[in-house]
């Protein structure tokens, strides 16, 4: 059941990444956020209520609420046209909590691969805080690409492989994931550069700069 939720987290991160890159309209993305946000609230509720006091299952379920609340918050905000600072600062809370869940998976659950994935999410939600909470629009494209890639690396692919029983839950998997994450963050650094302004002929004055429009998804996941 948790693997199913993880797979659809990949779907909503994919849509939100495209939103940040300007390929999806805000209200269109809002609907998907509500779908997955609802799923990520119902799933951990079921897991916790049927855990029979198992602390490991309760811990797993509690972490899923971070995603459910984020996507519901984003979905409602996109559909209602709300300011993004609320979900931005909530993202900082999620990023800090993700460090705790990463530690728990490394030390208590014996799942280092999942610990690495939580570190991915800590980085991603930190970027959401910077873009949505602090309005650092220069990070929008970078955050969009990180979101798009993490959709597959941390959620869709692991979720599907877990559903089919093919996911290698080993220490080597954790090492490979960590290496991919570092490479991803470095390779995407060029997206931090602002797009070059276009120019147009302006009579005898020569080329005149044309204002480049701001990112259409400048403060929305």
Per-residue pLDDT reduced to its tens digit, 103-135: 999 999 889 999 999 999 999 999 999 999 999
Residue 200 lies in a domain: no
Chain centroid to Cα 91, Å, comes to: 10
Instruction: Check residue 196 and give its pLDDT.
Output: 63
pLDDT-based confidence at residue 214 (cuts at 50, 70, 90): very low
Per-residue pLDDT reduced to its tens digit, 20-79: 999 999 999 999 999 999 999 999 999 899 888 888 888 888 999 999 999 999 999 999
Instruction: Check residue 2 and give its pLDDT.
Output: 80
Residue 23: give the domain boundaries.
2-192
Per-residue pLDDT reduced to its tens digit, 74-99: 999 999 999 999 999 999 999 999 99
Instruction: Check residue 201 and give its pLDDT.
Output: 42
Give the whole-angstrom CA distance, residue 19 versus residue 221.
7
Q: Does pLDDT of 213 surpass 90?
A: no
Instruction: Check residue 195 and give its pLDDT.
Output: 63
Residue 220 lies in a domain: no
Give the whole-angstrom CA distance, residue 71 versus residue 193.
28
Residue 166 lies in a domain: yes
pLDDT-based confidence at residue 197 (cuts at 50, 70, 90): low
Residue 146 lies in a domain: yes
* Predicted TM-score of the model (pTM): 0.86
Q: What is the mean pLDDT of residues 158-177?
A: 95
CATH of the domain at 6: 1.25.40.600
Instruction: Check residue 56 and give its pLDDT.
Output: 85
Report the number of distinct structural domains present in the chain. Answer: 1
Residue 203 lies in a domain: no
Residue 215 lies in a domain: no
* Mean pLDDT over each residue of the chain, to the nearest integer: 89
Residue of 42, 58, 49 lying closest to 104 (CA atoms) = 58
Q: Does pLDDT of 160 surpass 70?
A: yes
Instruction: Check residue 41 and give its pLDDT.
Output: 95
């Amino acid at each position: 059941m948790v693997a199913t939720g993880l797979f659809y987290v990949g779907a909503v991160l994919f849509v939100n990444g495209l939103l940040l890159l300007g390929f999806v309209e805000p209200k269109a993305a809002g609907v998907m956020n509500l779908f997955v946000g609802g799923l990520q609230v119902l799933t951990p509720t079921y897991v916790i209520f049927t855990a029979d006091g198992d602390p490991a299952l309760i811990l797993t379920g509690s972490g899923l609420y971070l995603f459910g609340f984020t996507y519901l918050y984003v979905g409602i905000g996109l559909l209602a046209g709300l300011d993004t600072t609320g979900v931005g600062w909530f993202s900082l809370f999620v990023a800090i909590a993700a460090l705790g869940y990463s530690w728990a998976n490394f030390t208590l659950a014996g799942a280092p691969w999942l610990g690495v994935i939580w570190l991915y999410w800590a980085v991603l939600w930190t970027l959401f805080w910077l873009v949505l909470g602090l309005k650092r629009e220069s990070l929008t494209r970078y955050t969009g690409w990180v979101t798009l890639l993490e959709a597959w690396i941390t959620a869709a692919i692991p979720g599907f492989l877990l559903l089919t029983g093919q996911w290698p839950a080993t220490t080597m998997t954790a090492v490979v994931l960590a290496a991919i994450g570092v490479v991803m963050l470095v390779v995407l650094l060029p997206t931090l550069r602002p797009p070059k302004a276009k120019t147009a002929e302006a009579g005898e004055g020569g080329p005149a700069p044309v204002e480049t429009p701001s990112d259409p998804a400048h403060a929305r996941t």
